[in-house]
Structure 1
């Protein structure tokens, strides 16, 4: 594993708000922690939703997500542990497993299923929804499976580690780059006592989500703990992260679209009329 020298950060962003993940269920009864909800879509534009899932009780996930539609945005599923089978009506099929990522562009419309291929054991990961700009909401659907081996992974000085799922960090490029929203998606491991400063593009909205341990960011002493999101303010060229205990987190940032958001369940467009058209198209088999 290569060692990465993180770009210099001159001024750290601060934690603006700490958000507690809320237990919920979706699909055919899968138990989730919903972190980024509708009320944060404007503040964290272009991100629409973040769900975290972690359970070794098969009853919490075994029913999965049977066929369901999407239009107007992208879904990013990052699997830390477990096996999930994707199938869609565009003929794509793939197996998402330990450390892998599925990047799906719903575009003008796709119907897919995500079903577990395990009957016991731990299933853990995240699903992030990334908005598409109005000009590409009706683009052709797309799907990409990214195995763990294709995601750049680096050692950090002092015993930390970083996976660069999407975006750019200094001269390094992640497994995925996307236009318009320019998302940065990192999985970070910080050892006890570790301090790392991570550069974030100017103007990008950003947050951290802790899934093991706890951390502080910038000068704020109040920690962000397991199953909590820390929304970062937009002042500074990066964020300084400190962990008193071994901590794992994802850091996500993106360029805001600053467009109207109209959402009805799995459809995200720019106007009510476009939502009504999406519903009609789906019910009349035009996806």
Structure 2
């Protein structure tokens, strides 16, 4: 449910309990990234394991892409803002991610895939989010939910507010992503100067907001560009763009509260399961 700020029913406000700034890193074949979740200041936020922001107009920063690599035990969400990325995997799946498109990949029992840019220069910008799977689903069959920009609905819940609904529901507009164990919300929120937006989230879900253009007030806390706000438990998330336009992603999901054992591209519950994942990959069984 989403409403104008003035129309929000009473409920526990979600406060900003920590503000995190990403750190520069590289991954794949030298792709330059900003790691926001998955760094020392914020190792994870159950069920979220990693959030990377990538963005550069220099081809040298991304041209190496992400050659063949394995995954098991979690989900990857790639949201392209600008640029073109081709993906392929060893199950015969392939596709092209273009500006505004989303790929929600459930690695499950495992696959080997690659993500390679289809451009040598120009702006490449977007996010990759890793979401944990519950123990009962870690060995499920891999699957993709991939949507072109015109399949991502846009809600207009209040004056000066535009929301791309990837997962969840805003003002009666439902996102296309479904059947995900953590019941996620994933919104791309654009605010004109002076506009405000309020959204109800399941009280028990963990949530964060990442400001990637402009700055805004989340509750009583100002969050600047390239800052992530870790949100308290609660029912109502509110943001306003007071001085200038702003754009942010709001992401929430049901925490799993299970043991997490990570080793590179494998995320399982025990060290023994990690050893098995490595052995399966080395034997070509993913």
TM-score, with structure 2 as normaliser = 0.94
Alpha-carbon distance between aligned partners in 1 of 2:98 and 2:78, rounded to the nearest angstrom: 10
Report the 3-state secondary structure (helix = DSSP H, G, I; strand = E; otherwise coil) of the residue aligned with 1:252: strand
Give CA-to-partner distance per residue, 1:237-269, whole Å, 9 cap, x none. 121101121101000000001100000010000
Unmatched tracts of structure 1, length 5 or more: none
Deviation track 1:64-117 (CA, whole Å, cap 9, x = no partner) reads: 000000000000000001000000001000000010001111110110000000
Secondary structure of the residue aligned to 1:281 is: helix
| Structure 2 equivalent of residue 270 of structure 1 | 269
Cα displacement string for residues 196-216 of structure 1 (whole angstroms, at most 9, x for unaligned residues): 111111100000001101112
Report the alpha carbon displacement of residue 20 of structure 1 after superposing the two structures with TM. Answer: 0.5
CA distance in 2, matches of 1:93, 1:179: 21
| Residue 155 of structure 1: how far off its partner (Å) | 2.2
Is 1:240 equivalent to 2:249 in the alignment?
no
> Which stretch shows the higher mean deviation, 152-161 or 277-286?
152-161
Give the equivalent residue in structure 1 for 2:123. Answer: 122
Q: Which residue of 2 aligns with 1:92?
A: 93
Query: Which residue does the alignment assign to 1:230?
Result: 229
List alignment gaps of at least 5 residues for structure 2.
Answer: none
Distance (Å, rounded) in 2 between the aligned partners of 1:180 and 1:103: 13
SS in 1 for 2:156: strand
Query: How far off its partner does 1:226 sit?
Result: 1.2
Matched, 1:260 2:222: no
Q: Is the 8 A contact 2:52 2:127 kept in 1?
A: yes
TM-score (norm. length: structure 1): 0.94
Tell me, what secondary structure is at the counterpart of 2:103?
strand
How big is the shift at 1:178?
Answer: 3.1
Q: CA deviation at 1:219?
A: 2.4
Which residue of 1 is the match for residue 8 of structure 2? 8
Is structure 2 residue 134 aligned with structure 1 residue 136? no
How many pairs were matched up? 280
Q: Provide Cα deviations, 1:17-66, integer angstroms capped at 9, x if missing partner.
A: 00011111000000000000155355x21110000011111111111000
Distance 1:5 1:119 in 2: 42
User: Are the equivalent residues in 2 in contact too, given 1:9–1:197 (CA < 8 A)?
Assistant: no
Matches within 5 A, 1:108-119: 108-119=109-120
- Tell me the SS of whatever aligns to 1:245: coil
Q: Describe how 1:151-162 pairs up with structure 2 within 5 A.
A: 151-162=152-163
> What is the match of residue 179 of structure 2?
178
User: How has the CA–CA distance of structure 1 residues 231 and 9 changed in structure 2, closer, same or farther, with 3 Å as cutoff?
Assistant: farther
Using the alignment, how far apart are the partners of 2:131 and 2:175 within structure 1? 17
| Contact 1:210 1:225 (C-alpha < 8 Å) held by counterparts | yes
Given that residues 28 and 64 in structure 1 are in contact (C-alpha distance below 8 angstroms), is that contact kept between their aligned partners in structure 2? yes
CA RMSD of aligned residues (A): 1.5
Please state whether the residue corresponding to 2:179 is helix, strand or coil: coil
Distance 2:9 2:24 in 1: 35
Give the conservation status (yes or no) of the 8 Å contact 1:167–1:178. Answer: no
